[in-house]
Amino acid sequence: MQKQDRIFVAGHRGLVGGAIVRRLQALGYDNLLLAGRDMLDLREAASVEVFFAKEKPQVVILAAAKVGGIHANDTYPALFLFENMQIQNNVIDAAFRHGAQKLTFLGSSCIYPKFAEQPIREDSLLTGALEPTNEWYAIAKIAGIKLCQAYRKQYGFNAISLMPTNLYGPGDNFDLNNSHVLPALIRKFHEAKLRGDGEVVMWGTGTPRREFLHVDDMAAATVFLTETYDGADIVNVGVGDDVSIRDLAELVKEVTGFGGGIVNDTSKPDGTPRKLLDVSRLHGLGWHAQIGLREGIEQTYRWFLDHQSQLRAV
C-alpha cells in the first residue's frame, strides 16, 4: 500500500474496523473511504456496485460482519449465514471488478473444527466438525475464505484472509447477554463492586483455556499483512499463548478492584477445553503481538468506565 491509496475499511464502526482506522491514520494513511450502514448497506448488491463504481478503492479491508455471541448465533442461524455471505459476496466481487489492487478479508478462529489439535494450525481447516453453537457464522466465514481463494485462482485477484483469535478492547460489546467472555467479566465484576456483593458466580469449572488478542494488536497485524503479505494461504492472528478462564477472572477481579470471592457454578457447561491458535506462520512473516493481557484489560476497563453512557448493547 501507498500512503495516498484510496482505502475502503468496510465495518469501520465496529470493534475491529474502528481499530484498523485508528491504526491506518496513525501511520499516515489519510485517504480513507468510510461509509456506515446509513450510507451503504453491504447486504445490497446494487448499493455496493454504485459505491465501488464511484469511489474505486485501491485497497479494501473487509472487517464488516454480522456478529454476536452463542445466544444470537443459535437464535438467528439463517441471518448469520445469509447476511454474512451477502456482505462477503458483494464486497469481494465488486472489489475485483472495479480494479482494487488488494483485499484483506477478516475471518474468525471459529472456522476450525471443534476438536482440532492444539495449537490450531491453518491446515486444520475443513478437517472436522464445527462447534454447533456458531457453525452458521463459521460456514459463512469459510465461504469467504474460499471465495477469496477462488478469485485469486481464476482471476489473479490479490485477496488475503486473516483468522483472528478472541478479540477484546475499547469499543467492545459489554452486554451481559450477548458479549464474549472478557468484556462480560469486566462488567460483571465492576457491577458487583458497585453493589458491594460478596461474590461473583462464574459458569463452569474455570479450567478451559482461551487466547485473547487486543483489538489494537489485531489492527496492527491487519495493516502489516495488508502491506506485506500476498499469499493464498490463510494466516492465524493471535498471541500464541492462552490463559484459563479462572485465571482470567482473577485478573479481571484485580483490575476492577472487586474485593469479594469467585464461586464456580459447575452445573453449567465449560465448552471447548482449549482454543489456541498456532501463530508460527504469522511470526515467520515478521509480526508479533505487543500488548500484554493485563495491560490490555486495564486499558479496556478504563474505556468501559469512560463510556458508560454509550456502551454498545448488541
pLDDT, tens digit only, all 314 positions of the chain: 899 999 999 999 999 999 999 999 999 999 999 998 889 999 999 999 999 999 999 999 999 999 877 778 888 999 999 999 999 999 999 999 999 999 999 999 999 999 999 999 999 999 999 988 889 999 999 999 999 999 999 999 999 999 999 999 999 989 877 678 899 999 999 999 999 999 999 888 999 999 999 999 999 999 999 999 999 999 999 999 999 999 999 999 999 999 999 999 999 877 778 899 999 999 999 999 999 999 999 999 999 999 987 775 43
- The annotation status of 109 as a binding-site residue, yes or no, is yes
**Whole-structure pTM value:** 0.94
Q: What is the pLDDT of residue 112?
A: 96
- The annotation status of 141 as a binding-site residue, yes or no, is yes
Q: What is the pLDDT of residue 314?
A: 38
Residue owning grid cell 478503492 = 57
- As a CATH number, domain 7-169+211-240+275-291 is 3.40.50.720
- The annotation status of 198 as a binding-site residue, yes or no, is no
Q: What is the pLDDT of residue 137?
A: 95
Which residues carry out catalysis? Answer: 137
- Report the relative pairing of strands 235-237 and 159-164 from DSSP bridges: parallel
Question: Which bin fits 206, alpha (ψ -120 to 50), beta or left (φ > 0)?
Answer: left
- The annotation status of 275 as a binding-site residue, yes or no, is no
Helix or strand (DSSP H, E) at 255: helix 245-256
Cβ atoms of residues 104 and 228 within 8 Å: no
Residues 6+ apart with CB under 8 A from 105: 62, 88, 92, 144, 145, 148, 159, 160, 161, 162
User: Whole-angstrom Cα distance, residue 109 to residue 141?
Assistant: 10
